[in-house]
Amino acid sequence: MTNQIWVVLQQRDGKLHRGSWEAIAAAQRLAATIGGGVEAVLLGHGVGALAAEVAGRAQLAALHVVDDERLASYTPGTYVGALAGALRAAAPRFVVAPHTYQTVDYLPRLAHAIGAGILPEAIAFEGTADALVFKRPVLGGKMHARVRVVGSGCVCLSVQSGAFSADSVAAGSAPVTALAVEGGALVADREILGVEDVAGDTVDLSKAEIIVAIGRGIGGQDKMGPVEELAKVLGAEIGASRPVIDSGWLARDRQIGSSGQTVAPKLYIAAGISGAIQHLVGMKGAGCVVAINKDPGAPIFGVAQYGIVGDLHEVLPALVAAIKEARGS
Amino acid sequence: MKVAVCIKQVPDTEARLRVAKDGRWIEEEDLPFVINESDEYALEEGLRIAEQTGGEVVVFSLGPERVREALRKALALGAARAVLLKDPAFAGGDATSTARGLAAAIRREGAELVLTGSQSDDLGFGSTGSLIAGELGWPHAWLVMGLQVEEGAKTARVVREMEAGKNEILRVKLPAVVEVQAGINHPRYASLKGIMAAKKKEIAELGPADLGLDPALLGTAGARLEIVSVGPPETGKGAQILEGDAPATAKKLVELLQREARVM
């Protein structure tokens, strides 16, 4: 095993996923710690211009490109096929990718194919070359676990959105090489039938000045009354964390977080939201955060300016009344 | 069609969590345990497919003795049988070593479709199902919001959630592993009849020797990750907590938002 780190970039339609830069930043920091170099790999079809863009911006030991029409659409089979041979030969210590739905879909298969371990959703690391400790959320974000790698061989890790700053990418350039892929390695293991839009992008929460966001603690669609009333008196948009959307209590275009919208209102009222990292990355640009939660240990209190420990079903109506009273209506 | 469903029993994350004395995990004594949320949806999906195709669901779980309760619930909901991997050799694993045990048990049992939840609510690797697929050499799909076994049961149509509010529709050959997302269906409740029937259903225990597995590749011994410690997320200085009953805290909050934060 070498001390090299390979970054698998994510692109779609010739555009780089923003998490790819964050993965490069994470890999560069990791490389500085373990004393290795960073190589990146870009998969796709017709990605020459994108490769040139990356190679001109980031300091990398190499940018490997597999440009093949069989990689025009993503499948785990073709991606693993394109990467496994090269990674077995290069034997890097870490493979780093942005923690996206696509990464979670294929990275375990890649790890399995090359006999590597898998460490999903790293949010930080610390320590020295021989004693690295990675931090990742567990228990729905209520706790963070510090984990270390044991055993020998490569580990594939994904880095959570927002955990490493894209702005901290060490600028420079990289030699571009075409990565040779063995004949017969690129086999699709699924047939892509199409893409459907579910959100419809009807609500743009990114421009909202005030957002009232609800989480699992709301308890049901029939309990939305006070939320709607509060949003009305404040002139706010209503947002939600993922469990609310999954339960069907609100439409998917109201979801805030790593798999939903990123927002930056001046006031963010989070009611019944525990504050899992996936949610926090979507609202960290908010100005003033108010947290209302029954659990005083909820992580959301850590990022809030004001907190109320209590039942949102009592606090929200009280808040509506208090606002009306303050405005003298 | 024979459907294998893997479920995990996890701490109820709504419960108040305390770090254990040794600092390496949470205190599990007195903690309520439940079936992992997305696994409940996987089970429901499996039961529906078994009903539609005239097959059965065999439910698999890896964990200590308490997991029997979760398996019993799955049997009450309609699974035909259960397989439990509770040998200490399986314990303390990461996604890699856990998948080895489960995949071997599924291979021994035989199945045309494996369903799991997309992610556990405790360790949250989101990788175990895909690694089971890797062990079995089958295709897989993760974060699935729609599943339909197609005519002839040779393929399945799968709706996979993508980012930015889009879904990808794809077809996989069977056998396959499908990792479903919470919200794909509406899980049923156990009937009294189901609960009674579950008492007579089999929960088979399998150990590494039954599966021809080397214990060195399982559980803690086969894991590539080790938890050093857990703790509440480190945060900024934290919120100013407003004290009092609901009307009092609401009034205080409005004052602060108007005068101090000046956002209202």
Asked if B245 and B141 sit in the same domain, the reply is no
Position A253 scores a pLDDT of 86
pLDDT of residue B117 exceeding 60, the answer is: yes
Instruction: Specify the range with the lowest mean pLDDT, choosing from A58-72, A272-286, B80-94.
Output: A272-286
> What distances in angstroms separate CA A87 from CA A40, A93, B39, B250, one per listed residue?
11, 10, 33, 57
Comparing alpha-carbon positions, the chain A residue that sits nearest to B243 is A308
Counted domains in chain B: 2
Answer yes or no: do B132 and B73 share one domain.
yes
B263 and B149 housed in the same domain:
no
- Give the confidence band of A246 by pLDDT, cuts at 50, 70, 90: confident
The alpha helices in A199-252, defined as continuous H runs, are 225-234, 242-246
Q: Residue B231 falls within a domain, yes or no?
A: no
For the ranges A98-112, A158-172, B146-160, the lowest mean pLDDT is seen at A158-172
- Chain A nearest-CA distance from B206, in A, is 24
Q: Tell me, yes or no, whether B133 and B247 share the same domain.
A: no
**ω before B175 within 30° of 0 (cis)?**
yes
Q: Strand A131-138 to strand A124-128: parallel, antiparallel, or no bridges (unpaired)?
A: antiparallel
User: Where in the sequence is the domain holding B188, given as residue range(s)?
Assistant: 2-222
Of A109, A248, A295, the CB nearest to B130: A109
Locate the chain B residue with the closest alpha carbon to A247: B183
Residue B228, domain member (yes or no)? no
Measured in angstroms, the CA of B203 and the nearest CA of chain A are apart by 28
Same domain, yes or no: B261 and B135: no
The CATH number covering residue B104 comes to: 3.40.50.620
Q: Do residues B210 and B94 both lie within one domain?
A: yes
Residue A234 with chain B: CB contacts under 8 Å: 264
| Chain A hits for B28, Cβ within 8 Å | none
Q: Do B104 and B36 fall into the same domain? A: yes
| Residue B37 domain-assigned (yes or no) | yes
Length reported for chain B: 264
The string of pLDDT tens digits covering residues A254-297 is: 999 887 888 999 999 999 999 988 898 889 889 999 999 998 88
Mean pLDDT of B162-166: 77
For chain A, domains (ranges, CATH) are 5-178 (3.40.50.620), 205-326 (3.40.50.1220)
Residue-level pLDDT at B236: 62
Residue A140 has what pLDDT?
Answer: 82
Q: B178 to chain A, minimum CA–CA distance in Å? A: 11
Q: What is the ipTM of this complex?
A: 0.92
Pair B124, B175 in one domain: yes
Residue A28 has pLDDT above 80, yes or no: yes
The Cα–Cα gap between B114 and B135 comes to: 12
In a domain, B157, yes or no: yes
Please state, for a pLDDT cut of 70, what percent of chain B lies above it: 98
Per-residue pLDDT tens over the stretch A207-227: 899 999 999 999 999 999 999
Does B80 share its domain with B180? yes
**From the list A106, A121, A287, which residue is nearest B263 (CB)?**
A287
Does residue B79 sit in the same domain as residue B143? yes
B137/A contact by beta carbon, under 8 A:
no
CB of B238 less than 8 A from some CB of A: yes
> Is B131 within the bounds of a domain?
yes
My answer on whether B199 and B242 are in the same domain is no
On whether residue B230 sits in a domain, the answer given is no
What pLDDT is recorded for position A21? 96
Please check whether residue A324 touches B, CB under 8 A: no
Mean pLDDT of A87-93: 97
pLDDT value for A173 = 94
Q: How large is the average pLDDT for residues B61-72? A: 98
Query: In whole angstroms, what is the distance from residue A34 CA to residue A316 CA?
Result: 50
* Average pLDDT of the residues in A157-175: 92
Together in a domain, B217 and B255: no
